[in-house]
Amino acid sequence: MADMSPAQKKWMKILHVAKRECSLDDEAYRALLLGAVGVESAASIRTWRQYNNALSAFKALGFRLKAKGDPALKETDAEAKRDPAWITARQEYYIRGLWDLASRKKDIRSLRTMTRRIGGVDDIRFLGREEARKVILALRDIAEKAGLDPDGPDGKEARHADDH
């Protein structure tokens, strides 16, 4: 579990609870995952889509989360509600702002593609802090290459020393 993202660890825990609550033995559990996702272990689940498919299969067996909604889906705005290993609220806000400034496609799909490529997860909220740092650096680089100042007011074009 050492090389797993925080989201993957959370997914694995939820799926193991589902296995227990649905009273599945190892063989039935692996068969369910294989049919729903194409893997035999929760540790092999790498994407948000795979997790949702596995969770849907358990829900079809009657599994219901005790908390209001799926904790992995819940929007967490307050820093106190966040797992300490996950992205901070400040990092998330900064990434979203940089994305709006620097990206050519301003849709959520393209943001998710980038977070998947750099951080290994589909949703920005499930980036680890280190992965979030990498996404921030990539977005800053994109903004600077586009001639924008990521730290300036409203991201206006960067002023160069010879522009005076």
Q: Which residues pair with 148 in a beta bridge?
A: 157
pLDDT in the model for residue 161: 42
Instruction: Give how far the C-alpha of residue 149 lies from the chain's centroid of Cα atoms, to the nearest Å.
Output: 26
Residue 157: helix, strand or coil by DSSP? strand
pTM of the model: 0.47
Token pair listed for 17: 């609870």
pLDDT in the model for residue 106: 75
Give me the tens of pLDDT residue by residue for the chain, a chain 164 residues long: 557 777 788 888 899 999 998 899 999 999 999 998 999 999 888 887 788 889 888 988 888 876 544 444 444 444 455 667 788 888 888 888 888 888 888 778 888 888 889 888 888 888 888 899 999 999 899 888 888 887 765 545 544 444 44
Angle between helices 48-60 and 6-21 in degrees, nearest 10: 10
The one-letter amino acid at 42: A
